[in-house]
């Protein structure tokens, strides 16, 4: 199987700051991590490769420093990484982003399966996975919590919803977005990390993937961010309870009741 896992570099959630002018997240100088949901997508892709054979390609779009998440993906089991990076991609909304990723997937060729995290923790839209499927005109299943089987060019998955799950069968090629119930991502090994540091990461521009520049960036984005605000910081305080075990337990219950937590 040839599996593409789409990953995104996002600011570590506690560090998010918004540019008041552009309403966009300030990424410069921020600690960046792999979008947590994408780690589950990557793990699932690597597990499929281990079970069925083939190749896992990590794909991302972003500034040059986004290369770091591709190396992280390689250290966690991806065979190679591809970075889409060019000024023309800058400012893309989810539609333009998914268009660019879809063109890259076509360029890679013979891809059987695309796996994405259910959403990125910076935008929280959950639109890019479905957008890729739409641009490629492939079948898709979102919120996948388990992959049951892959047989005869069909993949059977469990799709999570509020009341349980649906069992869905999709014809390959297809796009999945996954939730974190699907697996426990492995921790990269030192061997993997060292190998990843030596990997060549090709950087592709719009012309390399046959993308129409008019469909990229701000020009290619039908949506506009009108207003963005950082969330209110969570209030944390520590209450130390002292006394005998019985006194502590009583005080704890009192406190929890007072706060309406029990």
Partner 1 sequence: MRYHIENKVYHVEILPPKQDSENLERDLDVFAEKYTRVMDSGYCACITDNAMGHLSFQGTEMIEELGLPVLPEQVMIHLNTFHTREDLDNILSYCVEKGIKYLLVVSGDGSERLPRLKPSDIGVQGTESITSVELLQYITREYPGKFVLGVAFNPYEPEDHEFAKLKRKLWAGASFIITQPIIEKNAVVDKLIAEYPDVPVIVEAWMSKKLHLLSDAVGYTIPENTEYDPIATLKLLHQAYPKNGFYLSLLGFKTQYDLIRDLWV
d(CA 125, CA 144): 16
- What would the two tokens of residue 169 be? 């069968």
Cβ-based nearer residue to partner 1, 107 or 180? 180
- Specify the residue for token string 């002018």: 21
Cβ-based nearer residue to partner 1, 32 or 157? 32
User: Please, are residues 182 and 40 in contact by the beta-carbon 8 Å criterion?
Assistant: yes
> Footprint of partner 1 on residues 34-53 (CB under 8 A)?
36, 39
User: For partner 1, which stretch binds (CB under 8 A), given 98-106, 108-116, 190-198, 252-260?
Assistant: 190-198
d(CA 186, CA 144): 19
Radius of gyration of the chain (CA): 21
Q: Does 234 bind partner 1 (CB under 8 A)?
A: no
Taking the complex as a whole, the smallest distance from the CB of residue 191 to partner 1 amounts, in Å, to 6
Burial pattern 146-159, b for ≥16 Cβ within 10 A else e, equals bbeebeeeebebbb
Name which position in 22, 149, 154, 197 contacts partner 1 (CB under 8 A). Answer: 197
Name which position in 163, 191, 231, 260 contacts partner 1 (CB under 8 A). Answer: 191
- E strands within 17-172? 32-34, 55-61, 80-84, 113-117, 139-151, 154-161, 164-171
Taking the complex as a whole, the smallest distance from the CB of residue 257 to partner 1 amounts, in Å, to 24
Q: Does 240 bind partner 1 (CB under 8 A)?
A: yes
Name which position in 222, 233, 245, 260 contacts partner 1 (CB under 8 A). Answer: 245
User: Which helix (H) or strand (E) is 203 found in, with range?
Assistant: strand 203-204
Q: Does 189 bind partner 1 (CB under 8 A)?
A: yes
Cβ-based nearer residue to partner 1, 210 or 243? 243
Q: Does 13 bind partner 1 (CB under 8 A)?
A: no
Residues 6+ apart with CB under 8 A from 167: 148, 156, 157, 158, 159
Taking the complex as a whole, the smallest distance from the CB of residue 190 to partner 1 amounts, in Å, to 4
Q: Does 186 bind partner 1 (CB under 8 A)?
A: yes
Q: Does 29 bind partner 1 (CB under 8 A)?
A: no
d(CA 42, CA 130): 17
- Specify the residue for token string 């259910």: 118
User: For partner 1, which stretch binds (CB under 8 A), given 100-108, 111-119, 183-191, 211-219?
Assistant: 183-191
**Where does this chain bind partner 1 (CB under 8 A)?**
36, 39, 184-191, 193-194, 197, 240, 245
């Amino acid at each position: 199987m040839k599996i593409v896992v789409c990953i995104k570099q996002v600011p570590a959630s506690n560090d998010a700051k918004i540019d008041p002018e552009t309403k966009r997240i300030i990424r410069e100088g921020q600690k960046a991590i792999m979008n947590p949901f994408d780690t589950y997508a990557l793990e699932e892709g690597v597990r499929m490769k281990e079970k069925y054979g083939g190749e896992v390609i990590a794909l991302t779009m972003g500034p040059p420093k986004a290369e770091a998440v591709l190396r992280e993906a390689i250290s966690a089991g991806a065979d190679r990484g591809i970075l889409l990076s060019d000024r023309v991609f800058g400012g893309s909304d989810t539609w333009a982003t998914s268009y660019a990723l879809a063109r890259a997937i076509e360029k890679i060729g013979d891809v059987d399966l695309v796996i994405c995290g259910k959403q990125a923790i910076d935008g929280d839209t959950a639109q890019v996975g479905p957008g890729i499927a739409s641009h490629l005109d492939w079948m898709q299943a979102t919120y996948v919590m388990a992959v049951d089987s892959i047989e005869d060019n069909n993949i059977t998955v469990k799709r999570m919803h509020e009341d349980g799950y649906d069992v869905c069968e999709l014809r390959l090629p297809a796009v999945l977005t996954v939730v974190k119930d699907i697996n426990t991502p492995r921790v990269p090994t030192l061997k993997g990390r060292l190998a990843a540091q030596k990997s060549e990461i090709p950087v592709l521009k719009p012309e390399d993937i046959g993308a129409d520049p008019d469909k990229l960036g701000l020009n290619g984005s039908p949506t506009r961010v009108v207003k963005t605000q950082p969330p209110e910081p969570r209030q944390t305080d520590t209450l130390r309870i002292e006394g005998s075990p019985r006194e502590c337990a009583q005080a704890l219950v009192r406190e929890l009741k007072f706060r309406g937590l029990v």
